[in-house]
Structure 1
Amino acid sequence: MSGADRETAGAVPAPGTRTEIWRVRVDTGTCMGTGICAGVAPDRFQVRDGVSHPTAEYVPPEDRVVDAAESCPLEAIRVTHRDTGALIAPEA
């Protein structure tokens, strides 16, 4: 999904605006610890004790964070807009 598509789909402010920050969460009860997310975005995800963890809860918009969430086989990663709560990834 392109940035323009995300903006339209989730009413997310345009990339590069000061107010756009994403929240990254991993459902540790669902995560299998495959490490795919850490492979896609190694500075954004780490696998510890067999479960993935975001390296930061709040991040600037990045395509690779979306790619990591969409690559998760169990959809254990949710990326939302910090202020609006709009779902950014994975796509519904």
Structure 2
Amino acid sequence: MFIEIDATKCMGHGRCYAVAPDLLTDDDEGFVAERGQRWEVPADLLDQAQEAVDACPEGAIAVSSAAPVDA
């Protein structure tokens, strides 16, 4: 599974890294540091990835089985 954080939707509430501390971190401004990125989620962190999706009020986080497409 892959997780992606849409930087244009992220408003910096911090709920995602609060519920998924082993997967996500915050930057100096309180935003999720990984915004704008897409990467594979380790199998043992899939539950945290889904919790981050569910916690984001903007819907900025998505989890899918599709591999990233190189542009």
Q: TM-score, with normalisation over the residues of structure 1?
A: 0.57
From the CA coordinates, give the structure whose radius of gyration is larger.
Answer: 1
Residue 24 of structure 1 corresponds to 3
5+ residue gaps in structure 1? Answer: 1-21, 84-92
Give the structure, 1 or 2, with the largest relative contact order (CA under 8 Å, sep 6 or more): 2
Q: Is 2:53 the partner of 1:47?
A: no
Q: Percent identity?
A: 33
* 4+ residue segments displaced more than 4 Å: none
The total of aligned residue pairs comes to 62
- 8 Å contact from structure 1 (residues 23, 82) kept in 2: yes
Aligned-partner residue type, residue 50 of structure 2: V
Name the one with the larger strand percent: 1
Q: TM-score, with normalisation over the residues of structure 2?
A: 0.72
